[in-house]
Structure 1
């Protein structure tokens, strides 16, 4: 799977996100994370640390409470209070993808490849949002091939680089009902 994704998304994506080693799309992975995210563990979570993890891991593509980037969907209004919803989207990001966030691979006549999602299009050009870069405008006359895939821009396996405590802290922040403003809000 990792090799297939690398071929589809190109080396620039892998350089930004790192290699994708494993896709935990089995029941054991869900059970593992559900057990880590127990009520007791969530009650002890450090929301401030969770916010910092969000900024580093998720905020490069997603907004939450008005902070972060706009490559992926804004998470503020999502079903983020539901643990299973978040687990599905983190463990299997390509399981349910809105059309606006499907991975688009464009190859130009001069051999360059761009991978991102189309955020604007007119009869002469399109604008592609690319992770870790400014949006790129590409003249349609320069496009040799455009492929819309059923692969999410979000890489699978993001939890695998985090400790169990970091997963708890991040999930607690993702599930929090409001933006952290001061230290008193960092308690559950």
Structure 2
């Protein structure tokens, strides 16, 4: 085992120019706040081989300018007049469109190979200890399991303006003292919410009927920014199962928590209140709600599965934070 305090210093020195953790650092690469749900061996694999599994929005672009200069980095944003990129030091470079000769995407990560050679083995041990240390709250990164971008239509048409859930900004949020990490959909390019299957809409029919996130810890509560669906209450007034939160314990047992339309879940389209979840944020005219699931056992939970219930609704999960059980 390593030293958490020493590991935080290693993070600040070597990682914070590209990564955030608990609100500190730069948001160029993935936010590492919720990495505690992953085993150390898995994190080490990503450090040793950063190109093994690269999400599209973290791939390196190579830009060639008309005067022969080359800029390598992540695509931050594009407009009709300019292209903004982050280089490997986390610095933003702005190039005018008229100066761009060529822009090409690669399959590689911006994180340099051989990073592990820059720090001693003891420092790597401390860094992994810091990244996997569980505070009271562990916000879970949903970017690898998210199914759709919520700043585009999600139910009938991508062009549907009322079918979107858009925060004024995508910085971390707090509700009832629980911190939540959001994923920025980057103008429709990045899936940022879990939308499960719904039998009615053209966009919800191909969505998965279940999605699984890692946990790997003992949990007092699973806090959710969720509680909304397409075709939910009061449009559908029956008390049906919209979504099941299924906890998979390390000992092989599982436990289902059924979330009911009209009790836990309401329609996303406007401010509609139901008794077993709370209104959390107004997203333009739409809403996202808050609720918590409390495990019946204090054993180690390996994974948490969000399962579509048998009704006609299409449930949404915007953010998940795990509250650690006291040792």
Q: TM-score range by the shorter chain?
A: 0.5 to 0.7
Check if 1:151 corresponds to 2:88. Answer: no
Check if 1:62 corresponds to 2:34. Answer: no
Contact 1:80 1:174 (8 Å CA) reproduced: no
Structure 2 residue aligned with 1:17: none
Q: Which has the larger radius of gyration?
A: 2
Contact 2:47 2:116 (8 Å CA) reproduced: yes
Structure 2 residue aligned with 1:163: 120
In the TM superposition, what is the alpha-carbon distance from 1:91 to its structure 2 partner? Answer: 0.7
Q: Number of residue pairs matched? A: 137
- Structure 1 segments of 4 or more deviating over 6 A? none
Given the two structures, how large is their TM-score scaled by the length of structure 2? Answer: 0.39
Check if 1:134 corresponds to 2:83. Answer: no
- Which ranges in structure 2 are unaligned for 5 or more consecutive residues? 137-327
Decide which moves more: 53-62 or 70-79: 70-79
Structure 1 residue aligned with 2:34: 77
Change in 2 beyond 3 A, CA 1:79/1:101: farther
SS of corresponding position for 1:75? coil
- Which ranges in structure 1 are unaligned for 5 or more consecutive residues? 1-41, 180-188
Check if 1:117 corresponds to 2:74. Answer: yes
Which is richer in strand? 2
Q: Deviations over 1:24-43 (max 9, x none)?
A: xxxxxxxxxxxxxxxxxx1x
In the TM superposition, what is the alpha-carbon distance from 1:78 to its structure 2 partner? Answer: 4.0
1-side partners of 2:46 and 2:56: how far apart?
A: 15
In the TM superposition, what is the alpha-carbon distance from 1:85 to its structure 2 partner? Answer: 2.3
SS of corresponding position for 1:168? helix
SS of corresponding position for 1:104? strand
Given the two structures, how large is their TM-score scaled by the length of structure 1? Answer: 0.67
Structure 1 residue aligned with 2:44: 87
Contact 1:62 1:73 (8 Å CA) reproduced: yes
SS of corresponding position for 2:14? helix
Root mean square deviation of aligned Cα = 2.0
Contact 1:65 1:178 (8 Å CA) reproduced: no
Of 80, 98, 115 in structure 1, the residue corresponding to residue 55 of structure 2 is 98
